[in-house]
Chain A
């Protein structure tokens, strides 16, 4: 076999670029088609060709001759412009896009899913949203949610606040699903809102016929028109394209890697079900529209860590954060809120250095109680702040926000144990676990 030559170099020699029609002559066969870009992760000795029949194939060009047949203008994905007329009888909803699967599209030049779809494109793809409301779109970020960062939460909060001040009736934020529950929690602490702020996303991208984006979006717009003036996450309630749940932003977690109904309310009931473009309230304990003056407080202390404990964990992990000047630590402990006793000296050292340490549980479901076992009591004595039934991620975000307000240990401790925006429920209901409200409907037909 001849030695491998990078395809890129050979293509440069004949002046062929992605989108051009080329001919490839190999010892036994000749192919003709459109040259496509290859993602960087693919083998560099091959090129990707789109044949006339629509199929892509990869060709090893170490034994091939390439001929440029036709330079091509690159086709762009374009929607026809929508003629949008304002309907004074419909409410005004702002859609703020931040990226993620919901706004992904196939980039045919690289063949990868890219967060390139703007909020306006979404409206073009789902014009039925306009039957529900007058919709204004704003693209403020375009990132995959794994790249979300506290500084972006501040930015999103600012944009939302501006829209509230502009007098819209509700807000929908499109977001990648991986970290949507962190953003939801952050917004809940940062903004006092008189109107609904609904986060939504998609587990199947918008370029697919089976995307969950349509139902999630339309249901979110419906939720944004509702009476529920809270930060909430609106996603598929089941694997069916039939209804969405509206989850309280500080009580929701992505609990599945891929299912449409990945988001579950934890230690709480969903606020509502959105079905056939109608809101059915499930949980009456919510803040009503127009009962709150809008207020923005988006100051955060990002230097806070979330540490999961495990058997055999070395205390030096906690020391690392203390030495590196972290301002707060949330521990995702075991069971009712424990960790190995060997960690307690380091935890005490952190507290003594003025770093608040908050205890949550890796059980996710349920409330911590550090009085039941001696380790818990020792941890409390060491100054650990119990986070009650707060989710670890919510405790992390809350601690960032609280530390943005005050660095006073006593004050921090007080705020962390007090319910501010629905993140702590004092009462645990039987129905909260294991997602008793949720699940596939058995076929009984």
Chain B
């Protein structure tokens, strides 16, 4: 596909948790808590007027769902700030400094004075009903093989509460994650190649890792902003896997192109969405469809001119009908049933025809039904009508959630700018030029610089160094090299390649600590094991949770002393003395083979070779 021609524009938003001693606005630790909650706090939120006097679209949407929230809290691990029972404390200076470091590494311009804002979020993920966030830097860039990509903004903000589960009429959150410092980095929405987006995400990720940020699942989250010409800006939340980015972009393009086709067709047909909602339970009074028979109400709407289009695929496995269904689901129904897919779900052909007759629709039209409580049905169908009306206009601006297969589903309308007002409880923080200079003079080594240095310092190949970097093992490599006197390529290859081989064989290498690895290399350094034995020892250690020493012993892989080697070789020679007499020095090969068979893993091949050669030469001379 010609991405430029279709006007693809992608922006990337990265959220990274910082590794600070305490939270952004209180002294609680930035750690997730696994034990049972000690308290639960019950709350309701409602949207309020922002300082510019406009209700926010997205905020109202959420309010309509009238969600109730329960927050799980602890005596020691959380405090009144997270519970919104105490004003925020002064901003965490450590978080500010890490953020400034990141901003400088991204070549950004830092604001003179940092202001904390309240970004209204009333899905319950913040006890206050807003996220505290401040703009720290603008106008930076990263370089990629495909050119420079602008970094628009860097914000320092608090992470949201952790969603534990959804209940019948609300959501349960845990307060442990709320308040962990996050940086939000947004690129310019100028990338026009799906692969480049992944490259930039990778590159920014590398830069972040060179600073004090959290590692591991859930500590970094990527969002994508995607639009095409005549399409709309769509924000895709929660992209976990960088390798999936190109697929997500491609599939969003496909979705928008399909929606544009649908729009054209709808306009050609002069499609209409009447507001009337019908009660059609009567039609199904003798139905054999369990879904319908078990529901108190069956309500329906007409979509004039939509016939056949609801079944049109917009993404692999997702149809236009799925788009409508996503909206309906937000009102608490299980989904929709539409005429493009009928007869199905036990609904007969006859019932389908009766339904069409009752609503007086033709094959060019579609009927959408939902089942459940009357109120919910009406709410859901209103949403479907809203989405259908948008379809006639084109692609709606939306926030969507990334699914694990690269598709996306509807989350909520795109938020508008009016959700932001000032956090009055925190005075602005001036950031002086002197302070910036001080941080500038202490910037950490950038990943690429580190790679070059490690290459020359430890004499390893670019390929090996880049693998170590990519797998985030370059720091471990350096730390081990500082402590052992071994060739860089041996330690490097073990870390970059062997560990993953061991993992592929089904061993849990995450169990290995830095000291475990160091111990193995110490054995090698002290010539107690051979390098051929490393993999087997590491695998054994992960399986048995034992030390390197123990593993080597249990596996019988400890190198023998020279005397022991000599005596074994002597034995082999005496058993084969006829062969040596017969072949002379030509017997070195076969004798070497027999020796290695017995000594593999317990003696260095070179040593064995030297002893065998010397002894045979002595015998035949």
Within 8 A of A (CB), among B22-66: 36-49, 51-53, 59
B87 touches which of A43, A75, A240, A258 (Cβ 8 Å): A258
Within 8 A of A (CB), among B59-109: 59, 72, 80, 83-87, 109
Bound-state CA distance A76–B41 (Å) is 35
Q: Is B127 an interface residue (CB 8 A)?
A: yes
Residues from chain B with a CB closer than 8 A to the CB of A257 are 86
Bound-state CA distance A165–B115 (Å) is 50
B101-128 interface bits toward A, Cβ cutoff 8 Å, 1 = contact, 0 = none: 0000000010111110111101000011
Given the known interface contacts A111-B424, A209-B130, A239-B41, the answer about A59 and B112 at a Cβ–Cβ threshold of 8 Å is yes
A57 touches which of B37, B84, B113, B127 (Cβ 8 Å): B113
- Closest-CB distance, A24 to chain B (whole angstroms): 10
A46-54, A339-347, A366-374, A429-437: which one contacts chain B? Answer: A46-54
Contact A108 B51 (CB under 8 A): yes
A258-277 interface bits toward B, Cβ cutoff 8 Å, 1 = contact, 0 = none: 11100000000000000000
Given the known interface contacts A29-B139, A43-B113, the answer about A106 and B53 at a Cβ–Cβ threshold of 8 Å is no
Given the known interface contacts A52-B417, A111-B424, the answer about A57 and B135 at a Cβ–Cβ threshold of 8 Å is yes
Residues from chain B with a CB closer than 8 A to the CB of A85 are none
- Closest-CB distance, A137 to chain B (whole angstroms): 18
Given the known interface contacts A46-B113, A75-B53, A209-B128, the answer about A443 and B39 at a Cβ–Cβ threshold of 8 Å is yes
Q: Is A1 an interface residue (CB 8 A)?
A: yes
Residues from chain B with a CB closer than 8 A to the CB of A258 are 80, 85-87
Bound-state CA distance A41–B418 (Å) is 26
Bound-state CA distance A113–B118 (Å) is 13
Given the known interface contacts A209-B122, A442-B38, the answer about A56 and B422 at a Cβ–Cβ threshold of 8 Å is yes
Contact B419 A54 (CB under 8 A): yes
Contact A53 B87 (CB under 8 A): no
B428 touches which of A1, A54, A58, A441 (Cβ 8 Å): A58
Interface centre among A57, A60, A125, A206 (most CB of B within 10 A): A57
- Closest-CB distance, B126 to chain A (whole angstroms): 8
B135 touches which of A53, A108, A112 (Cβ 8 Å): A53
Residues from chain B with a CB closer than 8 A to the CB of A58 are 111-115, 428, 430
Bound-state CA distance A77–B421 (Å) is 13
A198-212 interface bits toward B, Cβ cutoff 8 Å, 1 = contact, 0 = none: 000000101111110
Interface centre among A59, A106, A259 (most CB of B within 10 A): A106
Bound-state CA distance A266–B377 (Å) is 50
Residues from chain B with a CB closer than 8 A to the CB of A443 are 36-40, 72
Bound-state CA distance A125–B53 (Å) is 12
Residues from chain A with a CB closer than 8 A to the CB of B115 are 48, 55-58
Count of A interface residues, CB-CB < 8 Å: 52
Residues from chain A with a CB closer than 8 A to the CB of B139 are 29
Contact A241 B129 (CB under 8 A): no
B407-421 interface bits toward A, Cβ cutoff 8 Å, 1 = contact, 0 = none: 000000000011111
Residues from chain A with a CB closer than 8 A to the CB of B51 are 77, 106, 108
A58-88 interface bits toward B, Cβ cutoff 8 Å, 1 = contact, 0 = none: 1110000000000000011111000000000
Contact A55 B127 (CB under 8 A): no
A28 touches which of B45, B46, B109, B421 (Cβ 8 Å): B109
- Closest-CB distance, B226 to chain A (whole angstroms): 19
- Closest-CB distance, B72 to chain A (whole angstroms): 7
Residues from chain A with a CB closer than 8 A to the CB of B111 are 57-59
B→A interface (CB under 8 Å):
36-49, 51-53, 59, 72, 80, 83-87, 109, 111-115, 117-120, 122, 127-130, 133-135, 138-139, 153, 155, 417-422, 424, 427-428, 430, 433
* A-B contacts, 11 listed (Cβ < 8 Å): A58-B111, A58-B428, A108-B421, A111-B422, A111-B424, A208-B130, A240-B43, A241-B43, A242-B42, A257-B86, A258-B85
A→B interface (CB under 8 Å):
1, 28-29, 41-43, 46, 48, 51-60, 75-79, 105-106, 108, 111-113, 125, 204, 206-211, 214-215, 239-242, 257-260, 440-443, 445
